[in-house]
Amino acid sequence: MPDRICVGAIAGAYGVRGEVRLKSFTADPQAIADYSPLTSEDGTQSFTVTITRPINNGFAARLSGISTKEQADDLRGLRLYVSRDKLPSLPDDEFYHADLIGLVVVDTGGTELGRVKSVQNHGAGDLLEIHGPNLKSTVLLPFTHEAVPTVDLAAGRIVADPPDGLF
């Protein structure tokens, strides 16, 4: 499990006074500011986040040390991370997406189906994007109790009972 989790990304400048457009990946989008300071992926940059107002597809926010539009523009695409120990612990049947990526997926008979490439959500629930050498293209597996009865983080695997014809 990674020791840092991506909780947001900078989509570019918002206005001319150094605010940024912030996309939040937290369950409660506005809670991203509660995890400050946030760091870049390599840990070389650190920011205290203050949300100023909601905007389309995210928030306008101020980051410590950023006071001009040019500085804000330079951060476009920057992913923001928080230390795992700052995040709340989850119930047994909930998982951080970062913990699922890379896990081996096997069917109920033990046959390897592939690995989790990403976790997606298009509004109707989470989907595990599975890729593997025996697959012509990636497969989207619904992340439900019926299709994924077991997630074993310690063993690094997911047991899946996919709908017929999916694989």
- The residue ranges of every structural domain in the chain are 4-85, 97-160
Which whole-number Å values give the CA distances from 114 to 47, 117, 120, 161, in the listed order?
Answer: 37, 9, 16, 13
CATH class of 97-160: mainly beta
Instruction: Check residue 60 and give its pLDDT.
Output: 96
Digits of tens for pLDDT over the chain (167 positions)?
568 889 999 999 999 999 999 999 888 899 999 998 999 999 899 999 999 999 998 999 999 999 999 999 999 999 999 998 898 888 888 888 888 999 999 999 999 999 999 999 887 889 999 998 888 899 999 999 999 999 999 899 999 999 888 88
- Note if the pTM is more than 0.85: no
Beta-bridged to residue 125, according to DSSP, are: none
Instruction: Check residue 76 and give its pLDDT.
Output: 96
CATH superfamily of 4-85: RimM (2.40.30.60)
**Which residues lie below 8 Å from residue 26, measured CB to CB, with a gap of 6+?**
7, 8, 32, 35
Do 119 and 100 form a contact (C-beta atoms < 8 A)?
yes
Instruction: Check residue 135 and give its pLDDT.
Output: 84
Tokens of 136: 């012509």
Instruction: Check residue 140 and give its pLDDT.
Output: 94
CA distance 105 to 83: 27
CA distance 79 to 72: 13
Tokens of 98: 């970062």
3-state secondary structure of 46: strand
Tokens of 20: 């940024």
Q: How far is CA 144 from the centre of its chain?
A: 18
Instruction: Check residue 98 and give its pLDDT.
Output: 87
Between CA 102 and CA 101, with CA 83 as vertex, the angle to 5 degrees is 10
- Residue 71 CB neighbours (<10 A): 14
Name the residue among 119, 133, 46 with its Cα closest to residue 81.
46
Burial class (CB in 10 A: 0-12, 13-18, 19+), 58: buried
